[in-house]
Copies of this chain bind each other. A is one copy, B any other.
Amino acid sequence: MNRQRLARSRPLTMEELPDVVQIAHGSGGKLTHQLIETLFVPLFDNPCLKALGDQAILDPSTERMALSTDAFVVKPYVFPGGNIGDLAVNGTVNDLLMGGATPAYLTASFILEEGLPTKELAFVAESMAIAAKKAGVQIVAGDTKVVERGAADGLYITTTGVGFVPKGLQWSPAHIRAGDVVIVSGTIGDHGASVLAHRFGIDFESQIQSDTACLREVVMAVRDLPGIRCMRDPTRGGLATTVQELSHTSGLNLRIRETSIVLQEDVRGICEVLGLDALYLANEGKLVAVVAPEEADECLRIMRTVKESKDAAVIGEVTDDIPGFASLETYIGAVRVLDLLSLDQLPRIC
């Protein structure tokens, strides 16, 4: 096995960070991790942040409040199947859900470029209102800033969500065990492929739609199953990055099977045309669940009754073969280690 590739978990020193910010620092992959682990975590030192989940769960013994924040800079800000507005609501709501929290409140901060058509802003805000209603959250506070032409790109939105975690529930990659089952809630790569096709003006027979959706119904349907170890939404960096992160945090090996992963035909098409790997394409309405083997069937059965996860499938298992790394069993049966994305396939995907 390639030692250099395995060396990625060593934190860098400040001196080893590149001198300037690069596009790939926003990819959700290796460079993003380096920036966070080397720069932010030591400075903002506290146990919640150190856990590096997509949400912070505060004071688990008493308040059980979950907090999550995300900046959205997707380009273009309207794409087939959605726009930056519903993406910003669904993205943060899903991050709360992945910690087992019931989403309750959102804040929204807008950075608008001078000259943005008011109608476009209204369209985006309407999408947010609809998405918030669907997700069962209230947008309770906000802020609006305007920068000059050229100092932003239409608009950026940061949403922050507050949710509440039921007593006793504590999903965490630390609970993953060898023998656990890896489930994904549907087809992968739809959001990334949709934005990419739209950005580069590539048309297939049917337009690829982003999967942006709220996962509330899925999570609520299975939340009471005690066999659920943890959930993650494979957004920026895609499924590969998520199983790699879960392997790294659990110290085990999530082994996924290429034959079990389902792609829409057009997503497969655009990947072939552009030489992209769907495993690294962003999803905005899917989740990965790691579940105890004795409850995997029941979890799958329930998920398939919910619209957003009707195509849920078991895609792999947890082993202790290659501790701390995810691996892929390819079509031809070979097993290769999955690495964190180190260059950005697709900047500004969310």
Contact = CB atoms under 8 A, between A and B. Distances in A.
B108 A144 contact: no
Interface stretch (A125-133, A175-183, A319-327): A125-133
Interface in A46-74: 46, 48-49, 55-56, 58, 65, 67-73
Contact of A71 (B24, B110, B114, B122): B110
A46 B107 contact: no
B67 A25 contact: no
Contacts of A111: 71, 73, 111, 156, 158
Interface stretch (A145-153, A226-234, A306-314): A145-153
Q: Which bracket fits the contact residues of A?
A: 35 or more
A23 B148 contact: yes
Contacts of A39: 118, 121-122, 125
A43 interface: yes
B40 A142 contact: yes
A23 B112 CA distance: 9
Interface in A12-53: 14, 17-27, 32, 35-36, 39-40, 43-46, 48-49
Q: Taking each of A48, A56, A69, which has the highest tally of chain B beta carbons within 10 Å of its own beta carbon?
A: A69
A140 B70 contact: no
Counting from the closest, the 6 A-B pairs by CB-CB distance are A26-B146, A160-B160, A69-B107, A158-B158, A56-B140, A44-B139
25 contacts: A20-B115, A20-B117, A20-B118, A21-B112, A21-B114, A21-B115, A24-B146, A40-B142, A43-B126, A44-B108, A44-B139, A65-B162, A67-B105, A67-B141, A69-B107, A69-B142, A69-B143, A70-B143, A71-B143, A72-B145, A109-B160, A111-B111, A111-B156, A156-B156, A162-B162
